[in-house]
Structure 1
Amino acid sequence: MATPVTIFDTTLRDGTQGEGISLSVEDKLKIAQKLDHLGVHYIEGGWPGSNGKDIEFFHRSKELNLSQAKITAFGSTRRKDSNAETDPNLNRLIESGVSVATIFGKSWDFHVHTAIQTTLDENLNMIYDSVRYLKSRGLEVIYDAEHFFDGYKNNPEYALSTIKKAEEAGADWIVLCDTNGGSLPGEVTEIVGLVCSTLKTRVGIHAHNDCELGVANSLAAVQAGARQVQGTLNGLGERCGNANLCSVIPNLQLKLNYSCISDEQLQSLTSVARYVSEIANMNMPVNQPYVGAAAFAHKGGIHVSAIMRHAKTYEHIVPELVGNKQRILVSELAGQSNVLAKAQEMNLDMNNETTQTKQIIEKIKELEHQGYSFEGADASLELLLRRAFGDIPDMFTVDSFKLIVGKNGGASISSEAIVKLQVNGESVYMAAEGNGPVNALDNALRKALVQYYPDIEQMHLSDYKVRVINEKDATAAKVRVLIESTDFDNTWSTVGVSENVIEASWEALVDSIRYALIGKTRIDNQTASAERLGIVNH
């Protein structure tokens, strides 16, 4: 039977210390619910002693219908030369109403003397008193030994004495923190192994990623005996971030045969990671292991030819195990294997012997020569292939669009778009304003279509990029616009190219909406067919 490892998520606390990350209380509540569905065991919600937002979160978190996760509040040991019972930070932890408190204390003698400017003995008393007091109030206590690895390397006897004090006071977990993120896996293995042989209390690891070893150090700690891993979704966190649970969990479970979450929960990892990225308003790296859009993407013709025979030739796991999927990228470097594989994904009858196939490949290469890039715009590529096979329903056609951009005196610049479409044989004329010309076009197009396709309200643009293709032509240069859209369940990208940035944006925008509508129509048709055959029951 696989050895269980407890997952402690600190996205809502340590993760929010990352540059550019700011979560509202509503954001934190939504993420907490997703983390519970993912199967994490502890969700660190914040520091109730530091700000009103976290206090509100803990108050409202009681309304969450969590199936297994415990909400924990974060704080520090009591202040020097004071009493735990009257310490405001410790009492805020109790008042927050959580059943689990996570507190940190100093392990490094250098920090004791320099940061909190007290004696080594007083620091030991601070640790003992704080853990004992919280335990006396009925809380489960997780003690985070801050800077433990640096402290151990500088003064091993004293570093060990700090965690022994926490154990003596009744801590339920003792978590060793590589707070500066400077330790190496070999050091972590040796030190965690020694600690596990010294303590009776369960041991955890809290690794930062300053040397890009947060995941490696977490795995090393578990292999050395640690049974709790603290980290964040997508590796969010201060400086270079925390250990990325999106890599820690599948590595432990799929590679090392530990048990963290259920197989079904693991299959939601990619969607949860992307949800958190969306809520945090951060672009998730496409090459992020396991959950990134390019984690199982293949471009080289030889690679694609091989994976069409067996995916294992160039994939270390089955992507669906973590909720991801295989992708075939198509560009001017691609061979016929890439295009055939994409067509196969779409159930299009295509083989490398036909004239049509050769024409499609030449068309793709010509478009790439003009400045299009399909390897980052799968949705545009799919539309291109489906058009070639006549497999696109006539959802709507564009007659014209107009833009009015103006500025009156000291007022801000205003943008208004007017679009004229043909939908279901009807002429639709619609106007809308926006923050800028592209936003105005987006609003007008949606406004025109929503009465016919209500599901369009569920999608929105999540990213917009403009790249100048031939810079030497200055303001007359061609630009490539990439638009990423999402409906929370799926994310897709489209591309447009023109000497006019508005035209390029419009092309990508229309493709994005058309792709969303075609996908929804196909799902509805499949469901209707299944109902007729008696496969779907209500």
Structure 2
Amino acid sequence: MATPVIIFDTTLRDGTQGEGISLSVEDKLKIAQKLDQLGVHYIEGGWPGSNGKDIEFFHRSKELNLTHAKVTAFGSTRRKNSNAETDPNLNRLVESGVTVATIFGKSWDFHVHTAIQTTLEENLSMIYDSVKYLKSRGLEVIYDAEHFFDGYKNNREYALSTILKAEEAGADWVVLCDTNGGSLPGEVSEIVADVCSKLHTPVGIHAHNDCELGVANSLAAVQAGARQVQGTFNGFGERCGNANLCSVIPNLQLKLDYNCISDEQLQSLTSVARYVSEIANVSMPVNQPYVGAAAFAHKGGIHVSAIMRHAKTYEHIVPELVGNKQRVLVSELAGQSNLLAKAQELNLDMSIETNQTKHIIEKIKELEHQGYSFEGADASLELLLRRAFGDITDMFSVESFKLIVGKNSGSSISSEAIVKLKVNGESVYTAAEGNGPVNALDNALRKALLPYYPDIQEMHLSDYKVRVINEKDATAAKVRVLIESTNYDNTWSTVGVSENVIEASWEALVDSIRYALIGKTRVELPDSQTERIGLVNH
């Protein structure tokens, strides 16, 4: 039977310390619900002693009816030369209503003398008194030994004495923190093994990613005896971030045979990662392992030819195990194998020997030469292929559009779009305003189509990128616009190219709506892939 490892998520607390990450109370509640569904064991909601938003979160989190996770509040040990019973920070933890408190204390003698400016003996008392007090109030206590690895390397005996003092006071977990993120996996493994030989209390790991080793150090700690891993989704966190649970969980479960969450829950990992990214309004790196859009994307013709014979040739796991999917990229560098694989994915009857196939490849290469990029715009590529094979019926056609952009003195710029479409044989003429010209076009297009296709109200634009292709032409340069759209179940991207940014945006925008309307935004798992998952799991 696989050894269990407890997952402690601190996206809502440590993750929000990352640059550009700000979550409202509503955001935190939504993410907490998703994390619970994934099977996370602890969700660190924030620091009730630091701000009113976190206090509100803890109050409202009681309404979530979580089935897997325990919500934990974060704080520090008591202040120096004071009593734990009257410490405002500790009492806010108690008043928050949680059943689990996570508190941190100093492990590094340098920090004791420099940061909190007290004696080594008083620091030990601060740790003991704080844990003892929270235990007396009926709380489960997780003790985070801040800067433990730096402290251990500087003064092993004192660092060990701090966590032994937390154990003596009744801590339920002792978590070793690589707070500066500067330790190496070999060091972590050796130190965790030493700690586990000294403590009876279960040990955890809290790694930061300053050396790009947050995940590696977490895995090394578990292999050395740690049984709790703290981290964040998508690696959010201060400076270079925390250990990325999107990589930690599948590495532990699929590579090292530990048990973190159920196989069914693991299959929702990608969707949860993207949901957290969407709520935080932060774009996920496409090459993020396991859950990134490019994690199982293939571009080289030799690679694609091989995966068509067997996916294992260039994929280290079955993508569906973590809720992701295989993607074949088609570009000017791609060969016929790429196009055949893409057609197979779309159930299009394409033969490598036909003139039509060769014509489509040449068409794609010509478009890419003009500035199009289909490897980042799967939806536009699918529309192109379906049109070439007569496998699509356009549900509307564009007759014209106009834009009016103006500014009066003392007011902001206003944008109004007027579009004329043909829908089901009927002419539709409508206008709408927007925050800018592209937003106005989007609003007008939706307004015209909504009476005919009400499902488009479920989709929205989630990202908009403009890239100048030939910078030397300055303001007359050709631009490429990539639009990402989502309906919260799925995400798709479209591309437009023109010397006019409005025209390029319009092309990508129309493709985005067309793709949504052909009903291909929800991709069912083919039977063959379902069978592959079953084979791997059993």
Normalised by the length of structure 1, the TM-score is 0.97
Matched with 1:401 is 401
Task: Give how far 1:394 is off.
Answer: 2.5
Amino acid at match of 1:367: L
| Alignment deviations for residues 233-289 of structure 1 (CA, whole Å, 9 cap, x no partner) | 000000000000000000000000000000000000000000000000001000000
Q: 1: CA distance between counterparts of 2:522 and 2:132?
A: 61
1:10 aligns with 2:10: yes
Matched with 2:174 is 174
Matched with 1:274 is 274
Amino acid at match of 2:3: T
1:34 aligns with 2:40: no
* Aligned pairs (5 A) from 1:386-535: 386-519=386-519
* Aligned pairs (5 A) from 1:219-368: 219-368=219-368
Q: 1: CA distance between counterparts of 2:167 and 2:398?
A: 70
| Alignment deviations for residues 454-474 of structure 1 (CA, whole Å, 9 cap, x no partner) | 111111111111111111222
Q: 2: CA distance between counterparts of 1:37 and 1:455?
A: 27
Matched with 1:61 is 61
1:81 aligns with 2:93: no
Q: 2: CA distance between counterparts of 1:185 and 1:522?
A: 41
Q: 2: CA distance between counterparts of 1:60 and 1:455?
A: 32
Task: Give how far 1:20 is off.
Answer: 0.5
Amino acid at match of 2:2: A
SS in 2 for 1:284: coil
Matched with 1:534 is none
Distance 1:77 1:508, change over 3 A: same
Is contact 2:219–2:252 with CA below 8 Å preserved after alignment?
A: yes
Matched with 1:152 is 152
Q: 1: CA distance between counterparts of 2:463 and 2:34?
A: 22
Q: 2: CA distance between counterparts of 1:451 and 1:50?
A: 49
Matched with 1:103 is 103
Q: 1: CA distance between counterparts of 2:521 and 2:418?
A: 26
SS in 2 for 1:375: helix
Matched with 1:529 is none
SS in 2 for 1:516: helix
Matched with 1:215 is 215
Task: Give how far 1:422 is off.
Answer: 1.1
Amino acid at match of 1:465: K
| Alignment deviations for residues 455-501 of structure 1 (CA, whole Å, 9 cap, x no partner) | 11111111111111111222211111011111111111100000110
Task: Give how far 1:44 is off.
Answer: 0.1
Matched with 1:530 is none
Identity of matched residues, % = 91
Q: Which moved more, 1:463-472 or 1:343-352?
A: 463-472
Distance 1:224 1:522, change over 3 A: closer
| Alignment deviations for residues 43-66 of structure 1 (CA, whole Å, 9 cap, x no partner) | 000000000000000000000021
Q: 1: CA distance between counterparts of 2:430 and 2:164?
A: 71
Q: 2: CA distance between counterparts of 1:296 and 1:523?
A: 16
Q: 2: CA distance between counterparts of 1:358 and 1:377?
A: 21
Matched with 2:46 is 46
Q: 2: CA distance between counterparts of 1:81 and 1:312?
A: 61
Matched with 1:532 is none
SS in 1 for 2:393: coil
Distance 1:229 1:287, change over 3 A: same
Q: Which moved more, 1:387-396 or 1:148-157?
A: 387-396
Amino acid at match of 2:20: G
Task: Give how far 1:348 is off.
Answer: 0.3
Is contact 2:515–2:521 with CA below 8 Å preserved after alignment?
A: no
SS in 2 for 1:180: coil
| Alignment deviations for residues 35-88 of structure 1 (CA, whole Å, 9 cap, x no partner) | 001110000000000000000000000000211100000000000000000000
Task: Give how far 1:451 is off.
Answer: 1.3
| Alignment deviations for residues 203-253 of structure 1 (CA, whole Å, 9 cap, x no partner) | 000000000000000000000000000000000000000000000000000
Q: 1: CA distance between counterparts of 2:522 and 2:57?
A: 41
Structure 2 unaligned segments of length 5 or more: list them: 527-538
Matched with 2:141 is 141
Distance 1:141 1:190, change over 3 A: same
SS in 1 for 2:209: coil
Q: 2: CA distance between counterparts of 1:156 and 1:303?
A: 50
Amino acid at match of 2:495: V
1:25 aligns with 2:25: yes
Moved over 4 A (4+): 520-524
Amino acid at match of 1:20: G
Q: 2: CA distance between counterparts of 1:382 and 1:437?
A: 27
Distance 1:66 1:369, change over 3 A: same
SS in 1 for 2:116: coil
| Alignment deviations for residues 296-354 of structure 1 (CA, whole Å, 9 cap, x no partner) | 00000000000000000000000000000000000100000000000000000001011
Is contact 2:490–2:522 with CA below 8 Å preserved after alignment?
A: no
SS in 2 for 1:511: helix
Q: 2: CA distance between counterparts of 1:284 and 1:522?
A: 20
Task: Give how far 1:523 is off.
Answer: 8.2
Amino acid at match of 1:301: G
Amino acid at match of 1:476: A
SS in 1 for 2:285: coil
Task: Give how far 1:393 is off.
Answer: 2.0
Q: 2: CA distance between counterparts of 1:520 and 1:48?
A: 45
Matched with 2:201 is 201
Amino acid at match of 1:306: A
Task: Give how far 1:448 is off.
Answer: 1.1
Is contact 2:100–2:141 with CA below 8 Å preserved after alignment?
A: yes
Distance 1:174 1:484, change over 3 A: same
Task: Give how far 1:135 is off.
Answer: 0.3
Aligned residues: 525
Structure 1 unaligned segments of length 5 or more: list them: 527-538
Amino acid at match of 2:442: D
Matched with 1:94 is 94
SS in 2 for 1:481: strand
Q: 2: CA distance between counterparts of 1:426 and 1:138?
A: 69
SS in 1 for 2:446: helix
Is contact 2:204–2:226 with CA below 8 Å preserved after alignment?
A: yes
Task: Give how far 1:522 is off.
Answer: 8.7
Matched with 2:534 is none
